[in-house]
Each structure stands twice: as structure tokens, then as C-alpha cells.
Amino acid sequence: MVADDHSVAVCVTLSTFKCGGYSTRSVVSQSQASDQWAFYQAKSIKPMQRNLSLPNASAV
């Protein structure tokens, strides 16, 4: 009985570690996607800001 309980405990522990690894990968993947989206938005906004600021710069 004790050996069976020990085997179950080991299996539960290993499966918990494995699931934790997937969770960590998911968080890292979500962070990378967020970074890529922010980079895309920044690239889109910078030229627009430049175009909007040109008339103001010539008036100064």
C-alpha cells in the first residue's frame, strides 16, 4: 500500500511540473505576442506623428 501511495505521489508531482512548464511557455508566448503588437503599433504611429508635426515645425 505504501509503495502505491508513493508512486501516485510521484506521478502527481511530475504531472504538476509538466503542466507548470506549459503554463510558463504560455505566459512567455503571450508576452512575446504583446511585444510584437506594441512594436507594430509604434511603427504605425511614428510616421503619422511626423506627418502631423510637419506643418507645426514650419510655422516655428
Say whether pLDDT at 1 is over 50: no
Provide Rg for the chain, Cα atoms: 26
Q: Each residue of 19-55: pLDDT tens digit?
A: 666 778 888 899 999 999 999 988 888 888 888 877 6
pLDDT surpasses 50 at 2: no
Predicted local distance difference test score (pLDDT) of residue 32: 92
Classified as helix, coil or strand, 1 is coil
Give strand ranges (E) for 2-52: none
Q: Please state the separation of Cα 3 from the chain's center in Å.
A: 41
Question: Three-class SS of residue 60?
Answer: coil
